[in-house]
Amino acid sequence: MPTLRTNGADIAYSDSGAPAGSPDAATIVFGHGLLFSGWMFSAQIEALRSTYRCVAIDWRGQGASPPAGDGRYDMDTLTEDAVALIEHLGVAPVHWVGLSMGGFVGQRIAARRPELLRSLALLDTSADPEEPFAAIQDKALTVLYRLVGIAPVKPSVLKIMLGPTFRKNPASKPVIDEWMRQVAHTDRHGMSGAILAVANRKPVYHEIGAITAPTLVICGADDKPTPLAKAQRIAAAIPGARLEVVADAGHSSTIEQPEAITALLQKFLAEV
C-alpha cells in the first residue's frame, strides 16, 4: 500500500485510481471504524470503483499504518491526517464515507473545511463524547488487550462491534476470522492508542449545524455503541440530512449488510 508521511506519522491508504475512461471521475474517500482498516469497505469499493476513484485511509496505528511516533491518535489529529491525504492526492472536493471513527473525522472536515467535500455519508457514528460507562469499558478492555492480545477480549469485542444477526450466522465466520487475523497482526501499542482516543474523544455536535454538504446518515438497527438515537441527533442537527436505518446490522454495517449499505451509497451519490 502507498503511504503518506504527514503530521508526524506514516499514513497508509489504498487507491483504486480513476475508472477506465473517466479520468475526471469524482473521488470517494473512506474512513474506517475502530479495530478495522480500509478493508471494511471492500464490498463498497468493489461496487463503486467502476464509477468513482476510491481511496481508503488506514488511521494511524491501525491497518497498514504503523503507530504514531508522537503518540497522537485524537480525532483532531486524524482529521489533519485525512485533510493532508486529500490535498496530497489533489482530489478535492471528495465524497466522504466514514463509519464510526471515520464519521467522527468526516463531521470535523465537513464543518471546518467544507471546500474539501462534495458530500458526507456518516455510518454508525456519533457527534457526542463516549458514554461514561462505555469509556470505562473501553479503557478496561484496552489494558487487557495490550497485555495479552485480542483472544481473551474477543467475545466482548464481537458483542460490541457486531449485531446479533451477523454474529449468529455461520456464514459470517470467514469474515470474522479474517478481521480477527488482521487485528492480531496489528501493533498493540498503536491500536491501544486508537482505542483510548475514541474513549476520550471530544464532542463535535456544537459544530455540525454549520455543515453544508449533502449528508446521508446511516445506522444499523442493532448498533450498540452508537444506537439510533445518536444517528437521529446528527440528522436533526445537519441541515437537510437524510437518515436511513439498516435492519439486521450492528455497529459494523458495511461488513454485516454490505449489499444494503452499497445500495444506499449508490443512490445517495447519484443524487448529489
- Least Cα distance to 100 among 128, 78, 124 occurs for 124
pLDDT band at 1 (very low <50, low <70, confident <90, very high): very high
Which residue in 58, 257, 268 sits closest to 163, CA to CA? 257
Kindly state the average pLDDT of the residues 237-259: 98
- By residue count, the chain amounts to 272
Residue 46, pLDDT > 90, answer yes
Task: Give residue 164's pLDDT.
Answer: 98
Among the residues of the chain, which ranges form H helices? Answer: 42-48, 75-89, 101-112, 132-148, 154-161, 164-168, 173-184, 188-199, 228-237, 253-256, 258-271
pLDDT of residue 218: 98
**Residues forming a β-bridge with 26:** none
Checking if the pLDDT of 53 tops 90, the result is yes
Query: Which tens digits make up the pLDDT trace of 79-110?
Result: 999 999 999 999 999 999 999 999 999 999 99
Q: What is the pLDDT of residue 110?
A: 98
Residue that wins the pLDDT comparison between 71 and 237: 237
Write the CB contacts of 35 (distance below 8 Å, at least 6 apart in sequence).
62, 157, 161, 179, 183, 191, 195
What CA–CA distance (Å, rounded) separates 45 from 35?
A: 19
- Rounded to an integer, what distance in angstroms lies between the CA atom of residue 249 and that of residue 251? 7
Segment 185-221, tens digit of pLDDT: 999 999 999 999 999 999 999 999 999 999 999 999 9
- Residue 128: the pLDDT is 98
Do the Cβ atoms of 185 and 178 come closer than 8 Å?
A: no
240 DSSP 8-state letter: T
| 170-176: long-range pairs with CB below 8 Å, 24+ | 172/256, 175/255
pLDDT digits (tens, 9 = 90+) for 108-162: 999 999 999 999 999 999 999 999 999 998 899 899 998 989 999 999 999 999 9
How many beta carbons lie within 10 A of that of residue 251, not counting itself?
A: 24
CA–CA gap between residue 186 and residue 172 (Å, rounded): 22
CA-wise closest residue to 34 among 64, 58, 14: 58
Can you tell me the distance from the alpha carbon of 131 to that of 128, in angstroms, rounded to the nearest whole number? Answer: 8
Backbone φ and ψ of 216, nearest 5°: -115, 130
d(CA 179, CA 231): 25
Residue 15, pLDDT above cutoff 90: yes
- pLDDT band of residue 264 (cuts 50, 70, 90) is very high
Q: Mapped to the 3 state alphabet, what secondary structure does 99-128 carry?
A: ECHHHHHHHHHHHHCHHHEEEEEEECCCCC
Domains of the chain, residue spans: 3-271
Report the interhelical angle of 101-112 vs 188-199 (nearest 10°).
60
pLDDT for position 69? 87
- pLDDT value, residue 36: 98
Residue linked to cell 446518515 = 217
pLDDT at residue number 162: 98
Least confident of 2-11, 146-155, 173-182: 146-155
* Bridge-based pairing state of the strands 9-15 and 27-31: unpaired
Give residue-wise pLDDT tens across range 16-36.
999 999 999 999 999 999 999
> Which CATH architecture is the domain 3-271 placed in?
3-Layer(aba) Sandwich (3.40)
The pLDDT of 254-269, averaged and rounded, is 98
